[in-house]
Amino acid sequence: MTQYSALAVLRNALSGNTGWTRAWRDPEPKPAYDVVIIGSGHGVATAYYLAKEHGIRNIAVLDKGWLGGGNIGRNTTIIRSNYMLDGNTQFYEWSMKLWEGLSHEINFNTMVSHRGLYNLAHTPGQWDQMARRGNIMRLNGIDAELFTLPELKRRVRYLDYSPTARFPIYGALHQPRAGTVRHDAVAWGYARAADKLGVDIIQNCEVTGFLRDTAGRVTGVSTTRGDIGAGKVGMAVAGNSSLLADKVGLKLPIESHVLQAFVSEPIKPLVDHVITFGAGHFYVSQSDKGGLVFGGDLDGYNSYAQRGNLPTVEHVVTEGKTLIPQIARVKLVRSWGGIMDMSMDGSPIICKSPIDGLYLNAGWCYGGFKATPASGWCFAWTIAKDVPHEFNAKFTLDRFRRGVPIDEKGQGPVPGWH
C-alpha cells in the first residue's frame, strides 16, 4: 500500500500518477472470522482499533451496499464535545481528542477543521443554561467560552442582531475546538488503515440472518454472499439497528426517523464557524467548496427511507433565513436523508447484548458522525475484552431497565423528541 506523503505526490506527478495502488482490497468473504462487524461506518473504525489496539486482525466488515453509502456519508460533518451529563461529557471529549490526531494516525487527510462552534442563546433562561453547560465543560477539562452580545457581534457579524428580530440574541456558548470533518474521508481513511492491518472489507454483502448454536449463542451471519462464521458479531448499522436486531429476536428501545440535510450553491466565504440556532433546531457551516451545509429537525414520523418531506425542507430553510437574512436568495442545490436510530434518552448504546456472541452499537440519534473515533475505539474495547471501557460504561442497554437514562436534552423517554 502506498504511503501518502508530499514526496509520494511529487513522485507520482512526475510519473503520470501511475504509481498509486488501491486504497483497500476487495476480497471475497472467508468461511469464518474471529470477529464480524456489520456496518461500514462505525464498523471500519471499530475494526481498525480492534486490529491496532487489541491485535485481533482476522476481522470482516460487512456492508449491504458500498463503503460510505450509509449514515457515515449522510450528515452535516460537525464534530463537537459540548456535552453536559456524566457519561456523554467524557465520551465525546475522548472522540474530540481522537479527531485531533486522526489524519496523522491513519495517514489519510480527513480534513479536520477546528473552526469553532457557537451555540446561540435567545432567552435569559437559555443564556443561564449555556453558562451552566459551559461551566460543566470546563470542570471536565473541555474548552468553553461564554460570549455576551457585544463580543459575539464583533466575532460573528452576519447574524440578525436587529432590535426587531423575532428571536433576539443574548449571547453564545463557544467551543473553539469544535468544527467539521470531511465525512467521506473518514470512511475511506479508516477503511484504508484497517485494510492495511489485514481487515477484510466486504461490500455488497447484506446480512439476512444470524447463525446460532444449540445454546442460542450467535456464531455467525447469513448473507447474500453465503454464511460466514464468527467468534463474535458486532452490529453497527445506525438506523437499521431495529430491523437487524429483529432477525435475532432482540427488541431494542429505539425508533428510526429520517433526518434531512442540505447544501446550497457555492457562495463567497461567509460562515467561518459552525452556528446553531437556539430558538429552533438549525445548524449551519460552510464547506470548502463554498456551499452552506445545514440541517434541522427530524421529519417527525418513523421511516427507513433515505428521503424526507417538503414541509421539513420549508421549516429548516425558514429557520436559516431567520438567523441569517442575507442567505434568503441563495439557491438550494441538493438534499439527502439519513436514518437516525433514536434511543429513548437520546444517548447511544455500546455494549454486549443479552444474546451471547452479539455486541451492540446503536441509538446514535444526532450524534453518530462526531462520535465515530470514540465509538469505534470503545466498541473495539468492549468486543475484545467483553467489558465496557469507562468511556462507554454508562451506555448499556440495561440502563433502560434499571431506570438510569442519560437524558442530555431532558425530553423524557420519547425517541422522536431527542
In the chain, the amino acid numbered 77 is T
Pairing state of beta strands 332-343 and 254-264? antiparallel
Q: Which of 308, 296, 293 is nearest to 257 (CA)?
A: 308
Q: Which of 398, 392, 343 is nearest to 366 (CA)?
A: 343
Strand partners, 113: 180
| pLDDT at res. 409 | 87
Domain range for 296 is: 117-181+256-343
Which residue, of 321, 343, 365, is where some domain finishes? Answer: 343
CA separation (Å) from 270 to 157, 199, 267, 285?
A: 9, 42, 8, 9
Indicate whether 224 and 339 sit together in one domain. Answer: no
Indicate whether 219 and 307 sit together in one domain. Answer: no
Are the CB atoms for 361 and 236 separated by under 8 Å?
yes
Indicate whether 172 and 264 sit together in one domain. Answer: yes
Are the CB atoms for 304 and 240 separated by under 8 Å?
yes
Residue 14 placed within a domain: no
Indicate whether 228 and 376 sit together in one domain. Answer: yes
Indicate whether 198 and 233 sit together in one domain. Answer: yes
Strand partners, 316: none
The residues, any chain, with a CB within 8 Å of residue 125's CB and separated by 6 or more, are: none
Q: How far apart are CA 305 and CA 294, in angstroms?
A: 20
Phi and psi angles of residue 311, each rounded to the nearest 5 degrees, phi first: -55, -35
Structural domain total, the chain: 2
Which residue, of 312, 343, 374, is where some domain finishes? Answer: 343
The residues, any chain, with a CB within 8 Å of residue 82's CB and separated by 6 or more, are: 117, 119, 133, 137, 142, 144, 173, 175, 178
Task: List the end-to-end C-alpha distance of the chain, in Å, as a whole number.
Answer: 43
Indicate whether 127 and 160 sit together in one domain. Answer: yes
Question: For each of the chain's 418 residues, which pLDDT tens digit applies?
Answer: 778 999 999 999 999 998 898 999 999 999 999 999 999 999 999 999 999 999 999 999 999 999 999 899 999 999 999 999 999 999 999 999 999 999 999 999 999 999 999 999 999 999 999 999 999 999 999 999 999 999 999 999 999 999 888 899 999 999 999 999 999 999 999 999 999 999 999 999 999 999 999 999 999 999 999 999 999 999 999 999 999 999 999 999 999 999 999 999 999 999 999 999 999 999 999 999 999 999 999 998 999 988 889 999 999 999 999 999 999 999 999 999 999 999 999 999 999 999 999 999 999 998 899 999 999 999 999 999 999 999 999 999 999 999 999 999 888 888 888 8
| pLDDT at res. 4 | 92
| pLDDT at res. 300 | 85
Instruction: Provide the 8-state DSSP code for 2.
Output: P
Its pTM stands at 0.96
Which residue, of 343, 359, 388, is where some domain finishes? Answer: 343
Indicate whether 334 and 359 sit together in one domain. Answer: no
| pLDDT at res. 290 | 97
Residue 111 backbone zone (phi > 0: left; psi -120 to 50: alpha; other: beta): left
Q: Which of 80, 66, 114, 349 is nearest to 234 (CA)?
A: 349
Residue 312: which CATH number?
3.30.9.10
Residue 9 placed within a domain: no
Residue 18 placed within a domain: no
A 10 A CB-CB count for 33 gives 24
How many residues are there in the chain?
418
| pLDDT at res. 416 | 84
Indicate whether 266 and 339 sit together in one domain. Answer: yes
Pairing state of beta strands 274-277 and 282-286? antiparallel
| pLDDT at res. 164 | 87
**What's the grid cell of residue 241?**
439497528
Residue 35: which CATH number?
3.50.50.60
Indicate whether 124 and 103 sit together in one domain. Answer: no
